[in-house]
């Protein structure tokens, strides 16, 4: 019996420890693709949220501008529970002093006023057109904000993958030099290699270890920068799915800059937003100039008042009045009027408002022209970098092939004692640089293609089925 109880206790403790271990186990890293990263960033990016909020605000401004053409309706109501006034009546004889009269009353009143602006110098029309242009500009700004997020995430995703591969190359180089250190140590023990060769190989292993540590830190930093763009928990461990960068080499280096420039000026969302903002500023000039013209309003009003209680010198006179409801219903009065107003001189306020709006319009137009010219210049730069990326890949391939052959030959000679450590070390460093340059050139081509699409306004914020660039 005691043995059975002991076994049960052991089983219970084991299960509790297993459950505790499972509860405290570190979560598995989250695996993300480029498409998933872009979707997360578009949902969480602050710039996209701000642009969306601005779009909603501009929509409310358009509704307000439409409301300027509708009549304004105001209802009023009042109730005075007690009102006291004291006056003197004029005497009939000049020698008789006047009588003091104290009046106390309770009263109620209702009023309804409607006004419609018939003309105000077309300021309302100009304000509506300005609001419509600003709403359109806000929509294009939102689109460009999304395109910027897509490019930014793509850039840092590629950078994270590049640093990850550079780390793998650094570790491979460290492992190769460590294996050679083991061989050198054995050859030293049997007298083939000198103590100097052993020390030099140990120093190279230490240097390669430092390079691997730096590469690891850089890889960690690039992943954190990607997390910053995704606005995920910084403690989240992520792994990235590789992208098919090799397919980028099949792209054509030829770029039709004039045709691409015309396409860019047509497709760039921020350029269209700048044009609409300049047009909106021009309408604001017309709106401000409308204050110099007369303003005509149609006003219709109705009101009714009634006395609930009244007394003179303390003597109640309420019985002389009909009920309050009857007074309010039968005592309705109304009026219809046309009100014309014209500010002949307002202390130069209208002049200042027009000049302010005109300055804003001129500045907006300058911004638009500068952006338009800058797009063409940026496109030429992006096209040049894109073409240079192909040359970089070709040179990197040739360098890697030659460095690999040279290192294999020198390593065989070193193992046989026919070459020295300096020659082997130089060959290894050349091979390491060639591998790193080849990896950087591959990702650089993919990134330059993404930059060319972003500059030309080709960025697609909806379809991200894969990360391989498309043919220009």
Which CATH number fits the domain that encloses residue 81?
2.20.200
Considering only CA atoms, give the Rg of the chain.
42
Residue 21 in any domain: the answer is: no
* Same-domain check for residues 317 and 227: no
Residue 414 in any domain: the answer is: yes
* Same-domain check for residues 231 and 136: yes
The answer to whether the Cα torsion of 466, 145, 218, 234 is positive or negative is: negative
**What 3-state DSSP class applies to 105?**
strand
CA–CA separation, 291 vs 355, rounded Å? 13
CA–CA separation, 169 vs 438, rounded Å? 11
Residue 463 in any domain: the answer is: no
* Same-domain check for residues 242 and 371: yes
What local confidence, expressed as pLDDT, does residue 11 receive? 56
Residue 269 in any domain: the answer is: yes
Torsional class of 101: left (φ above 0), alpha (ψ -120 to 50), beta (otherwise): beta
CB neighbour list of residue 212: distance below 8 Å, 6 or more residues apart: 167, 170, 171, 173, 174
Residue 5 in any domain: the answer is: no
* Same-domain check for residues 60 and 81: no
**What 3-state DSSP class applies to 367?**
helix
Query: 238-240 and 315-316 as β-strands: parallel, antiparallel, unpaired?
Result: unpaired
* Same-domain check for residues 284 and 147: yes
Structure tokens at 349: 């306020």
Q: What is the CB neighbour count within 10 angstroms for residue 341?
A: 9
Distances (CA, A) of 440 to 102, 206, 245, 309, 393: 99, 25, 11, 94, 9
Q: How far, in whole angstroms, is CA 202 from its chain's centroid?
A: 51
**What 3-state DSSP class applies to 184?**
helix
Q: Shortest CA distance to 68 belongs to which of 8, 7, 124? A: 124
CA–CA separation, 238 vs 31, rounded Å? 6
* Same-domain check for residues 367 and 256: yes
C-alpha triplet 229, 269, 38: angle, nearest 5°: 25
* Same-domain check for residues 302 and 258: no
Residue 108 in any domain: the answer is: yes
H-state helical runs in 335-420: 349-415
Q: End-to-end distance of the chain based on CA atoms, in angstroms?
A: 81
CB neighbour list of residue 9: distance below 8 Å, 6 or more residues apart: none
* Same-domain check for residues 87 and 170: no
CATH number reported for the structural domain that contains residue 267 in this entry:
1.20.1600.10
Residue 471 in any domain: the answer is: no
* Same-domain check for residues 311 and 415: no
Residue showing tokens 């190359």: 169
Structure tokens at 52: 């969306």
pLDDT along the chain (472 residues), means of 10: 48 53 60 91 93 94 92 92 80 57 86 92 93 95 94 93 92 88 85 83 89 93 92 85 75 84 90 95 94 92 88 77 84 91 89 94 95 92 91 90 90 78 83 90 89 84 41 32
Residue 17 in any domain: the answer is: no
Please give the model's pTM, rounded to 2 decimal places: 0.80
* Same-domain check for residues 360 and 219: yes
Q: How far, in whole angstroms, is CA 56 from its chain's centroid?
A: 14
Q: How many domains does the chain have?
A: 2
Range of the domain at 316: 74-117+296-341
* Same-domain check for residues 213 and 130: yes
DSSP structure string for 205-218? HHHHHHHHHHHHHH
CA–CA separation, 176 vs 201, rounded Å? 11
Structure tokens at 268: 């760039």
Torsional class of 354: left (φ above 0), alpha (ψ -120 to 50), beta (otherwise): alpha
What local confidence, expressed as pLDDT, does residue 97 receive? 58
* Same-domain check for residues 167 and 286: yes
What local confidence, expressed as pLDDT, does residue 197 receive? 80
């Amino acid at each position: 019996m005691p043995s059975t109880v002991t076994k049960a206790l052991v089983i219970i403790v084991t299960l509790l420890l297993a459950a505790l271990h499972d509860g405290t186990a570190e979560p598995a890293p989250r695996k993300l693709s480029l498409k998933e990263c872009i979707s997360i960033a578009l949902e969480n990016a602050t710039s996209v949220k701000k642009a969306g909020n601005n779009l909603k605000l501009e929509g409310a401004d358009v509704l307000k501008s439409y409301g300027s053409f509708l009549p304004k309706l105001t209802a009023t109501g009042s109730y005075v529970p007690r009102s006291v006034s004291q006056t003197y009546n004029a005497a009939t004889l000049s020698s008789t002093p006047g009588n003091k009269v104290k009046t106390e009353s309770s009263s109620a009143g209702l009023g309804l006023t409607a006004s419609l602006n018939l003309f105000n110098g077309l300021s309302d029309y100009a304000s509506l057109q300005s609001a419509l242009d600003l709403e359109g500009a806000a929509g294009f700004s939102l689109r460009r904000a999304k395109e910027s997020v897509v490019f930014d995430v793509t850039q840092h995703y590629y950078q994270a993958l590049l640093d990850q591969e550079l780390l793998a190359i650094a570790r491979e180089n460290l492992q190769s030099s460590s294996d050679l250190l083991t061989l050198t140590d054995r050859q030293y023990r049997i007298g083939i290699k000198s103590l100097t060769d052993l020390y030099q190989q140990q120093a190279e292993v230490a240097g390669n270890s430092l390079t691997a540590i730096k590469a690891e830190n850089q890889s960690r930093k690039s992943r954190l920068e990607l997390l910053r763009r995704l606005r995920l928990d910084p403690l989240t461990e992520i792994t990235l799915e590789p992208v098919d960068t090799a397919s980028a080499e099949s792209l054509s280096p030829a770029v039709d800059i004039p045709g691409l420039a015309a396409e860019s000026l047509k497709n760039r969302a921020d350029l269209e937003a700048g044009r609409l903002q300049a047009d909106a500023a021009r309408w604001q000039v017309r709106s401000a100039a409308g204050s110099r013209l007369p303003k005509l309003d149609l006003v219709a009003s109705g009101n009714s008042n009634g006395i609930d209680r009244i007394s003179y010198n303390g003597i109640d006179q309420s019985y002389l009045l009909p009920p309050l409801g009857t007074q309010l219903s039968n005592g309705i009065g109304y009026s219809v009027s046309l009100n014309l107003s014209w500010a002949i001189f307002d202390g130069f306020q209208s002049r200042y408002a027009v000049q302010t709006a005109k300055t804003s319009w001129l500045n907006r137009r300058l911004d638009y022209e500068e952006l338009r010219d800058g797009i063409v210049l940026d496109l030429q730069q992006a096209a040049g970098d894109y073409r240079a990326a192909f040359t970089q890949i070709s040179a990197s391939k040739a360098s890697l092939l030659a460095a690999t052959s040279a290192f294999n030959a020198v390593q065989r000679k070193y193992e046989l004692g026919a070459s020295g450590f300096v020659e082997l070390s130089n060959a290894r460093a050349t091979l390491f640089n060639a591998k790193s340059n080849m990896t950087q050139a591959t990702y650089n081509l993919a990134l330059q293609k993404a930059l060319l699409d972003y500059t030309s306004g080709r960025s697609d914020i909806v379809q991200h089925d894969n990360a391989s660039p498309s043919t220009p």
